[in-house]
Amino acid sequence: MSKPAHVRFSTFVAETRQGLLRYVRRMTRSNESAEDIVQEAYARTLEQGDAVRTPKAFLFVTARNLAWNARRHQRVAETDPVDDLDALGVSHGDGASTEDGLVADEAALLLRDAIEHLPPQCRAAFTLKVFNACSYKEIADRLGISTKTVEKHISRGLRDTHAFLRRRYRDGSTAEGPP
């Protein structure tokens, strides 16, 4: 009598997880990205079920492709910093007083600084959601990641951006680094 599918998959994960994690970590050079990619690779392998003849090969090829996509998107995010918030729809508008304009400009600069402190893929997902009003599905398709990962990036972007702004307004800190 064969083992139930969930027991076989649990055994498969236990046998392959550490090796897969090392493999992906070498490609991404990021523990966080590697964890996300490994999780997505297992989900896609499980989704295929018995249709996969060699699950370990399928798993590693899937993880490699996800890692390559992540690296490609990271390079795009690094070469496309948030330089012009006016182009993203953040401006103080016409008819504002000089003082209001200066305050709005300072707020926009602080927001840009907060967003630039986000990790590249998180920053890309966050700006697509906040400034371009893209759906999670659209963002996932554009960045080549799962919608669940997009949700995590948006959540982290909101949390980290708010923390950065709170810290700046609370103590006037200009220290660089993550919030």
- Which pair of structure tokens corresponds to residue 31? 């523990």
Domain 98-171 belongs in CATH node 3.20.10.10: no
Give the model's pLDDT for residue 131. Answer: 81
Which stretches within the chain are classed as H helix? Answer: 5-28, 31-48, 55-78, 98-116, 120-132, 136-143, 147-171
Give the model's pLDDT for residue 156. Answer: 92
Give the model's pLDDT for residue 151. Answer: 92
* CA 144 – CA 17 distance, rounded (Å): 22
Task: Look up the CATH number of domain 5-78.
Answer: 1.10.1740
The ranges of the chain annotated as CATH 1.10.1740 are: 5-78
The ranges of the chain annotated as CATH 1.10.10.10 are: 98-171
Give the model's pLDDT for residue 76. Answer: 61
Give the model's pLDDT for residue 130. Answer: 82
pTM of the model as a whole: 0.43
Could you tell me the mean pLDDT of each successive run of 10 residues in the chain, 179 residues long?
A: 75 89 87 89 85 86 87 63 50 59 75 86 87 87 90 91 83 51
